[in-house]
Structure 1
Amino acid sequence: MPEFLAPWDVPASGMFFRVALELSGARDVTVAWQPPEPAGRVGAMPLLALRARVAWR
């Protein structure tokens, strides 16, 4: 993902995971993000790899 989008994507994706799972009946949803890792470039645009561990009951 483009590096400049990460500050927006992390909270938006975390909320999406939580809401989608809760609407499906999941409880105690947690989203734990790992630190972003450099993932190369496209032209002059730096990219990041984002990984999250999502758990629920």
Structure 2
Amino acid sequence: MLATALGSLTLQLRAAGYEQYVESVACASVVMYVTAALVVVTWVRARGLYSD
């Protein structure tokens, strides 16, 4: 949810002309999405491993 908010903020910053902040906010958003995906993959694999 926070990553989506940061993605939206990135678009708003770009539209308002704050280009110096766009890259760092976009990077933070991408890092959060990747982290969330890795957590989900780890959770699914661990659940399958211990489901016996």
Structure 1 and Structure 2 fold alike (TM over 0.5): no
Q: Calculate the TM-score normalised by the size of structure 2.
A: 0.38
Q: Kindly indicate which of the two structures has a greater share of residues assigned to helix.
A: 2
Q: Calculate the TM-score normalised by the size of structure 1.
A: 0.36
Q: Which has the larger radius of gyration?
A: 2
